[in-house]
Structures are given as structure tokens and as C-alpha cells.
Chains A and B, each alone.
Chain A
Amino acid sequence: MVEFVNLTLSGITSGMVYAAVALALVLIWRATRIVNFAQGGMLMLTTFLAWSVIDRGGSYWVALAVALIAGLALGAIVERIVIRPVENKPPLNAVIVTLGLLVVLQAVAGMIWGGQPRSYPPAFTIQGFKLGETGLLLSPFDLFVIGAVAVVMVALILLFRRTDLGLKLRASAFAPEVARLLGVRVGRMLTLGWALAAVVGSLAGVLIAPSVFVGPNQFDAVLVFGFTAAVIGGLDSPVGAVVGGLVLGCALSYVTGYISSDIVTLGALAALITVLMVRPNGLFATSAGRRV
């Protein structure tokens, strides 16, 4: 029982990080109908920048701020330069461009920082809480991870539901032509959407960095799990991204704890196939009419 609780707790913590990555993917998918495979590379680069700040003696919080601001800028630049030409083109073109970008970002990071994974300090202790005699797999840092992602989610919900800017963002994603006719600068909104998504991604990168280390290829699994979480939830739904992240996090945690950590990605595959067998468009998909 204790083991089950502990596995669930660690599943929730990692699930929140997957949820953040999934959220970044969902934001971009909703705005531009593109799956951003470069997300893993983008958050890797911003986490490396944060690592450099800490390496030079900067504090954790300054590094976090640097990562988030770098994410904002990187997202906007990427959208403007390489994504704009493939928007509204065959979907495979966007897939290839984002994959190419992932390769380029990893190569650039490897050139600057080398291939050796570096350790990244957590904000708080990772010593678990104790409940009487039994140690829990939940530390102050885990609480910080869960809290930080939750705060970002609430902020995003408020932004999209309660502000003019959020309305414009939703309008340009939902009906670009109509939005443009009504005076919304759709292009700018798409750039902003990418920038926001990249910020969420950068946060996820910094939060997961203490457990996966920082290296050019260290975040590949995070991207795959984030993508899996987004697909489980249904790519169109931010709520689905969070639920998908938590479901996946717990499923992977159980696989690691009860079977073997070697087949943890196969566990992700099994969870994904199971969900998609029942609902081919993810858990939170809205059914759409099909037309010829």
C-alpha cells in the first residue's frame, strides 16, 4: 500500500511536468495545427541557458527567469522564421521542419556546451517528507514542481478566458479569416501563441532538469512523454493535456515500480494504444461531423 501511494505520488510529480510539455504542444496545435517536435530542443536550449547562469554563480530564481524569457524570445523567433512559411501547407512539411529544427538545436547545444550531461540543482531539498516512520516519495521540490505547473495552468486559463488578448488568441486559432476581418493581427497572435507555449515548455525543462540532467539529448524522452500525454488527452484540449500528463505519469510510475524501468517507454506505448483504441482522437476529443 505504501509502495502504491509512493508510486502514485512520484507519478503525479513527473506527470505534472509531462502535462506542462503536453500543454505547450497543445497550445501550438490549437493555434497553428502543427505538432512542434522541436519543443524538446527548445526547452533543452533554454534549460542550458539557465544552467549557464547557475554555473556562473547566479541564483536558481534568476536562472529560472532567464529560461522563461529566453523561451519567450525563442518561441517567437522560431515561429517567425521557420514556421510561418509552412503554416497552412501539407502537415508533413511542418513535421519535417520542426524535426529539422530539433536536430539543429541539439547540434548547436552540443557545439556550445558539449555532449556531457550536467547536473542541475533543485530549488528546494529533494529529501522526501516523512509520515511517522515511512518515507514518502514527495519532497518540497516535488511540491514546488506541482505548484509551479498548476500556477501556470491557472494563469493560462485566466489569460484565455478572461482577457481581451486571450479572446484574440482564441479567435485567431478558431477562425483566422473572420478574426482578421474584425481587426485582429492574426500573424502576431500566432507568434504570441508560440512564444507562450515555449515559455510553458521552458518551465517544464527547468523543473525536470534535476532528475534527467542537462544535455543535448537528455530531454528526448520528456518530449516523447509530453507528446504521448497530449495525444492521450486529445490534442485540442488543454484540460486533456493535464489529465493525459497525470495518467501517463502514474502509468509510467507503476510500470517502473512493479515491472521494470527498462520497459517504461513500452508502458507509455501501451497506455497510448489502450486510450486510442477506445477513443481514436484522445480522451477529451469533441466528436466532429465528417463531410465529403
Chain B
Amino acid sequence: MNLQTTNPQPKNARAHAPLDRGWAGVVLRMLRRHTLLRHTLLAVVAVVALAYLTGAVSPYRDLQIAHMAYIVCAAAGLTVLTGLGGQISLGHGAFMAIGAYTTALVLNHWAWPLAAVLLAAVTVTAVAGFIVGVAAARLHGPYLAGATLALAVGLPGLVSYEPVTGLLGGQNGLSVSPSPPPLALGETFPLERWQAWISCLCAVIVMWLLANLTHSRLGRSLPATRDDEIAAALSGIRVARVRIITSVVAAACAGLGGGLLAVVTTLAAPGAFPLTLSLQLVAAVVLGGLGSLAGAVWGSVVLVLVPNWASDPDASAHLPHNVASNLPALIFGTVLIVVTLLFPRGMQGGFRWVGRQVKRRLTERTG
């Protein structure tokens, strides 16, 4: 015991020793040192894995993967805003709505290529995020939650407002013509897989950008503004500016998510952006693990899979209609409460705990 506390160095060195030898050690050390390289490698691995996965599953599962991917975009942005920046936003669905409607309008009126359309959606929502960010920079805690909540509830109502109904299509929304897969992929290439590819590629790009952002100067000053605003300001961080930039980033991600939603579901309608969507995004962020980008992915996967699994027709066939139709919501709400009470650090926190245990066992065995 005494030996360990006074001189823990040799033990650590021995633990890493087998990995640090040879060319594998060189690569590992390089990856540990170069953040950009590490993230790029992870992104490439993710793209390859997703390309393989989408090819191996049925079109229905491909569609689910596409859903997950656009929720990952929005949830990852929200992770940066809420988890790292400490700004609660209950209105992220509103930004998704802006992105979706921008996508639908641009596609229907000018028929730009898809990448340009999504870029336009990102730009427009980023501007909206800037406006909201400037208005919200002075707010915190429940006041911010209240303002964003009102935004999420109020914005979808705008489509029914007389002067803009013609443009935005009222309650029925705007239909988006699906973008077919390029002919180079073959004529039988399923549309769902192409949509999954688009969404997943965007999600990987978003994750790559955000992962680098969180390791940047801005990313490091974010937790400082979250934990102690005044101390951060005294150490030279411009709190308001940091918050506005974060708001813009989070809104842009949500806008991309919304744009993808419009492309995947081929529709931009107010019914797709109820208050529940905004709340589900917050739930995904918390379920996955607050402040962890990987957590945003786990949270989104749970968000799509749990209600889907709960509404499985085979399992609920013998139940009365009222019970069956509300079962997914009941399970979802219960999961939210139980996970928050039992695992406050979310799924990513749980994974990390398991990882630490495994690592400890390994080091105990080798050392």
C-alpha cells in the first residue's frame, strides 16, 4: 500500500508496456497525441462500418438507421450546448423544423443538388440559432428552458398563420420529392439504403466536426462557462460570445438533422415537430450521458429502437387498442425515469465504468 502511494509510476509504466512496443506502439502513441488524426481515423472506421451494416440489413432497418442518424446530428449539437455549455434547450425541435422547411422550400423551388440544399438548411438554422443565442445569452436555467419551450410550442403554429399558409403548406406541410440513388450504384439499389448512406455520412461529418470542436479552445472554455460563469469571465473567457457560438453550432446541427428528416421522410409538416420531439432530444442527450458525444449516439439509438420495439405488432396483438397504442410512451417514460435515477451519468457513463473495471482486472493480471 505504502509503496503504491509513494511511487505509482512503475506500475503504470508496466501496465502500458506491452502496448508501447513495436510499430503498434508508435501508432498508438501518435493517435494519443494527435487528436485530429484520431478523430479522422474513427470517422473512417465509422463510415466503413456503417456502409457494411446498411448493406447487410433489410430496407426497413436501413430506414431506421437513417432515422437514428438524423437524430444523432441534432442530439450531438444539443450535447455540446447542454452537456458542455450547460444551456438547457427544450426547443431544439424548432430548429429541426426550420431546417426541414428550408430543405423542402429550396428543393421544391430551385431543385439544387442535395448537398447544397442541406448546406442551405444549415446556414438558415445557424442564422436562427444566432438570433435565439443573442436573445438567450443573458438567460440561464429554468428561464432559458421556458423561453426555448415556448419556441418549440409556438413555431410549428406559424404554418397555419394566414399570410404564410400558401408558402408553408399549412397543417399538411410540404412534400419533398425523394432524391433517388445515383445510377452508378445500379438500378436495383434500394432507396432506403441510399437515404441511410446520406444520413449516416452527415452524422459522421457532424460528429467529426463536433469532436474536434470540443477539443479546441472553445470546447475547453465551454465547461468553464457552465460550471462557474463569473470565474470563467474573470479568467478572460467571453461568456456571452461563447454561448452565442455554441447556440449557432447546436442550431446548425439540428438544422442539418431536420433537413435530413425532410429528405428521409419526404415531408416537412408541423406534425413532425411536436414538443415531444424537442423533449426526446433532451432525453437522448441525458440517456446517453450528458456531455459525451458518443452518448448522443447511444441515446439516439435507444430513442429510435425502444418505441419501435415496444410497438412490435406481434408482442402487442393480444392487448386492447388503448393499452397497445400507449405502451411505447409508457416504456419510454419509465426508461427515462429509471435511467436518470439509477445511472445519472447515462449509458456512456456505464460503459466507461465497465471499461475501467475491465482495464483494472487486466492490469492486475499482467502486473
Residues of A within 8 A of B (CB): 29, 35, 82, 85-86, 89-93, 95-97, 99-108, 110-115, 216, 220-221, 224, 227-228, 230-231, 235, 260, 262-269, 272-273, 276-277, 280-282, 290-292
Q: What CA separation (Å) do A115 and B149 show in the bound complex?
A: 24
Residue of B147, B228, B332 with most partner-chain A CB within 10 A: B147
Q: Give A230 Cβ to nearest chain B Cβ, in Å.
A: 8
Contact with A along B245-276 (1 / 0, CB 8 A): 00000000000000000000000000000011
Q: What CA separation (Å) do A158 and B173 show in the bound complex?
A: 52
> Within the complex, which residue of B146, B149, B337 is in contact with A101, where a contact is CB–CB below 8 Å?
B337
Cβ–Cβ contact A92 & B88, under 8 A: yes
Cβ–Cβ contact B149 & A224, under 8 A: yes
| Given A92-B290, A95-B145, A111-B330: A290 and B336 interface contact (C-beta under 8 Å) | no
Closest to B234 in A: A292
Residues of A within 8 A of B323 (CB): 111
Q: What CA separation (Å) do A175 and B325 show in the bound complex?
A: 45
Cβ of B139 under 8 Å from chain A: yes
Q: What CA separation (Å) do A82 and B333 show in the bound complex?
A: 12
* In the A-B complex, the 3 residue pairs with the closest CB atoms: A100-B336, A103-B333, A104-B333
Residues of B within 8 A of A (CB): 82, 88, 135, 138-139, 141-143, 145-147, 149-151, 153-155, 157-158, 160-162, 228, 230-231, 234, 275-276, 279, 282-283, 286, 290, 322-323, 325-327, 329-330, 332-337, 340-341, 344
Cβ–Cβ contact B333 & A268, under 8 A: no
Q: What CA separation (Å) do A276 and B142 show in the bound complex?
A: 12
Residues of B within 8 A of A216 (CB): 326
Cβ–Cβ contact B145 & A272, under 8 A: no
Cβ–Cβ contact A82 & B337, under 8 A: yes
Closest to A104 in B: B333
Cβ–Cβ contact A95 & B88, under 8 A: yes
Q: Give A118 Cβ to nearest chain B Cβ, in Å.
A: 14
Total A-B pairs, Cβ < 8 A = 157
Q: What CA separation (Å) do A224 and B335 show in the bound complex?
A: 24
> Within the complex, which residue of B139, B141, B155, B327 is in contact with A107, where a contact is CB–CB below 8 Å?
B327
Residues of A within 8 A of B341 (CB): 82, 85-86, 97
Residue of A102, A221, A224, A269 with most partner-chain B CB within 10 A: A269
Cβ–Cβ contact B282 & A268, under 8 A: no
Residues of A within 8 A of B340 (CB): 86, 93, 96-97, 100
Task: Report 10 cross-chain contacts, Cβ distance below 8 Å, ordered by A residue.
Answer: A89-B344, A92-B88, A96-B337, A97-B340, A99-B283, A100-B336, A107-B326, A268-B150, A273-B135, A292-B231
Residues of B within 8 A of A277 (CB): 135, 138
Residues of A within 8 A of B344 (CB): 89-90, 93
Closest to B337 in A: A100
Q: Give A261 Cβ to nearest chain B Cβ, in Å.
A: 9
> Within the complex, which residue of A92, A110, A262, A263 is in contact with B82, where a contact is CB–CB below 8 Å?
A92
Cβ–Cβ contact B157 & A262, under 8 A: yes
Q: What CA separation (Å) do A100 and B151 show in the bound complex?
A: 21
Residues of B within 8 A of A99 (CB): 279, 282-283, 336
Cβ–Cβ contact B330 & A101, under 8 A: no
Residues of B within 8 A of A105 (CB): 333
Cβ–Cβ contact B153 & A231, under 8 A: no
Residues of B within 8 A of A106 (CB): 326, 329
Residues of B within 8 A of A265 (CB): 150, 153-154, 157
Cβ–Cβ contact B230 & A269, under 8 A: no
Q: What CA separation (Å) do A282 and B282 show in the bound complex?
A: 24
Q: What CA separation (Å) do A96 and B155 show in the bound complex?
A: 23
Q: What CA separation (Å) do A140 and B340 show in the bound complex?
A: 46
Q: What CA separation (Å) do A111 and B157 show in the bound complex?
A: 28
Q: What CA separation (Å) do A89 and B142 show in the bound complex?
A: 15
